[in-house]
Amino acid sequence: MIRFECDYLEGAHPLILKRMEETNFEQTAGYGEDAFCASAKEKIRKLCGGIDVEVHFLVGGTQTNFTVISAALRPHQGVLAAVTGHINVHETGAVEAVGHKVLALPSEDGKIRASQVRMAYEAHWNDKDHEHMVQPGMVYISHPTENGTLYGKEELQALHEVCQELSLPLFLDGARMGYGLMSEAGTLTLKDIAKFTDVFYIGGTKVGALFGEAVVIANPLLRKDFRYFIKQNGGMLAKGRLLGIQFDTLFTDGLYFEIAKQADALAMRLKDAFVKKGYRLRYDSYTNQQFPILPNDHMEKLKEKYSFAFWEEVDASHSAVRFCTSWATKEAAVDELIRDIEAL
Segment 219-238, which members bind a second copy (CB under 8 A)?
Answer: 225, 227-238
Residue 340 binds a second copy (CB under 8 A)? no
* Sole window of 91-99, 109-117, 152-160, 266-274 interacting with a second copy (rule: CB under 8 A): 91-99
Between 95 and 194, CB nearer to a second copy: 95
Which residue, 4 or 283, is less far from a second copy as judged by CB?
4
CB 59 within 8 A of CB 231: no
Nearest-approach distance from CB 58 to a second copy, in angstroms: 8
Q: Shortest Cβ distance from residue 28 to a second copy (Å)? A: 6
Residue 299 carries which side chain, given as an amino acid letter? Answer: M
What is the 3-class SS of the chain, one letter each residue?
CEECCCCCCCCCCHHHHHHHHHCCCCCCCCCCCCHHHHHHHHHHHHHCCCCCCEEEEECCHHHHHHHHHHHHCCCCEEEEEECCCHHHHCCCCHHHHCCCCEEEECCCCCCCCHHHHHHHHHHHHHCCCHHHCCEEEEEEEECCCCCCCCCCHHHHHHHHHHHHHHCCCEEEECCCHHHHHCCCCCCCCHHHHHHHCCEEEEECCCCCCCCCEEEEECCHHHHCCHHHHHHHCCCCCCCCHHHHHHHHHHCCCCHHHHHHHHHHHHHHHHHHHHHHCCCEECCCCCCCEECEEEEHHHHHHHHCCEECEEEEEEECCEEEEEEECCCCCCHHHHHHHHHHHHCC
On whether the CB atoms of residues 168 and 117 are closer than 8 A, the answer is: yes
Residue 197 touches a second copy, criterion: CB under 8 A? no
For residues 5 and 109, which CB has a smaller minimum distance to a second copy in the complex? 5
Question: According to the binding rule CB under 8 A, does residue 21 interact with a second copy?
Answer: yes
Integer angstrom CA distances of residue 217 from 170, 174, 202, 247, 331? 11, 13, 11, 16, 36
Instruction: Among 81, 156, 328, 341, indicate the residue that binds a second copy (CB under 8 A).
Output: 328
Residues 156-185 that bind a second copy (CB under 8 A): none
Answer yes or no whether residue 17 interacts with a second copy by CB under 8 A: yes
> Is residue 62 close enough to count as binding a second copy by CB under 8 A?
yes
Report the nearest approach of a second copy to the CB of residue 6 (Å).
6
202 in contact with a second copy (CB under 8 A): no
Task: Give yes or no for residue 282 binding a second copy (CB under 8 A).
Answer: no
Q: How far is the CB of 141 from a second copy (least distance, A)?
A: 20
Shortest reach from residue 323's CB to a second copy, in Å: 14
Residue 268 touches a second copy, criterion: CB under 8 A? no
Q: How far is the CB of 242 from a second copy (least distance, A)?
A: 6
Build a one-symbol-per-residue string for 103-132: x at contacts with a second copy by CB under 8 A, - elsewhere. Answer: --------------------------x-xx
Instruction: Name the segment binding a second copy (CB under 8 A); options: 15-23, 142-150, 163-171, 285-293.
Output: 15-23
311 binds a second copy (CB under 8 A): no
Q: Does 135 bind a second copy (CB under 8 A)?
A: yes
Q: How many residues does the chain have?
A: 344
CB of 98 to a second copy, least distance (A): 7
- Range 70-89, binding a second copy (CB under 8 A): 70-71, 74-76, 78, 89
For residue 305, state whether it binds a second copy (rule: CB under 8 A).
Answer: no
- The answer to whether 198 and 156 are in contact (CB under 8 A) is no
